[in-house]
A = this chain, B = another copy of it.
Amino acid sequence: METVRAWPIHIPAPLLLAAGFVIIAGAQRDPLPSWNDGPSKHAIVSFVSDTVRSGATTFVAPADRIAVFDNDGTLWAEQPIYVQFQFALDRVKALAPQHPEWKTTPPFSAILAGDVNGMAATGEKGLAEIMTATLAGMTPDEFAGIVDQWLRTARHPRLKLPYTDLVYKPMLELLEYLRSNGFKTFIVSGGGAEFMRVFAERVYGIPPEQVIGSTIGTELQVRNGQPVLIRIPKVDFIDDKAAKPEEINKFIGRRPVFAFGNSDGDQQMLEWTATGSGHRFMGLVHHTDADREFAYDRASHVGTLDKAWDEATLRGWTVVDMKSEWNRIFK
């Protein structure tokens, strides 16, 4: 397949003259400069070109240009542990003085002692206890403030950068490229919706109402005569695997034509996208760059890429080889 050199533009050369506001488009710059010429870039550009070409059998009406992205491992780094899990661990440490009983109560005792094996031994039950202890009992605004504060100060253990700097430049370009071609971009992630909403608009250009994720219960209460929402220690839903198409249906109400993930947790979302009618695109990020980021797939506990990879190979979905296809990793 030949390399596409003319980049499609959603509206042909618009010239917008408004008060103090001039855009001159038509300059056909490469919208994906961080992507090397290669099969993934070619597949993306071909798909978008075909989608917006009026009259083509591959044309997709603007209303149906729904693109969904996983977050952890697809838009930002997820190793060595999910960012939100690191947040929860740091939060346990910050809250420990108010909870002396945690010193002797797993999983908190294991976290405070830095005992990774002890933490892991408490399994899903332990994880749920950590999550509810660190995510509930406050208003959504208070929670957002805590997350925002943490994001400003926390640094990745190996890469020594703020987590919001560890978003993938090639994916930021892809989001913008899709939007400039009339796509509406959504996050559909196993991460917490209200965790991601703190930074998604600023970092990805994706507003809160287009961020779908796991949620805990939130209850309207009245305090001092004022209605307040309080996050309660009850899992509402976990937006992973089969729940992803279910939540896409509930929140978006349309089947996407474009889906990008990186792990087996995204497999059902990609299958759901793939089995709609008309032109569609399914992609996976394969983490192959141990030097610049991380290299992991089938054997990894975080972001396992195994069955979804096999299916991608079988069906010809795009699998991005991070090492050879991305000339730049982080923003």
Contacts and interface: CB of A to CB of B under 8 A. Distances in A.
A18 interface: yes
Interface in A132-182: 140
Given A11-B19, A227-B275, A271-B227, A220 B245 contact: yes
A17 interface: yes
A208 B18 contact: no
Interface residues of A, number: 45
Nearest to A221: B242
15 contacts: A11-B19, A13-B18, A14-B16, A15-B17, A15-B18, A16-B18, A186-B209, A193-B253, A208-B253, A208-B254, A211-B253, A219-B242, A220-B242, A220-B246, A229-B249
Given A17-B17, A18-B11, A219 B193 contact: no
A12 interface: yes
Given A11-B19, A19-B12, A226-B275, A250 B220 contact: no
A197 interface: yes
Contacts of A17: 14-17
A264 interface: no
Given A209-B209, A227-B245, A227-B268, A218 B18 contact: no
Given A226-B275, A250-B215, A16 B16 contact: yes
A18 B272 CA distance: 36
A251 B186 CA distance: 12
Interface in A1-47: 11-19, 21
Contacts of A226: 275
A220 B268 contact: yes
Given A220-B268, A227-B271, A246-B218, A63 B18 contact: no
A207 interface: yes
Contacts of A236: 250
Contacts of A220: 242-243, 245-246, 268, 272
Copies, count:
2
A218 B193 CA distance: 20
A252 interface: yes
A70 interface: no
A21 B11 contact: yes
Contact of A252 (B208, B215, B245): B208
A22 B176 CA distance: 25
Contacts of A12: 18-19
Interface in A185-242: 186, 193-194, 197, 201, 207-211, 215, 218-220, 226-227, 229, 236, 242
B201 A63 contact: yes
A287 to B, nearest CB: 26
Contacts of A250: 193, 215, 218, 236
B268 A246 contact: no
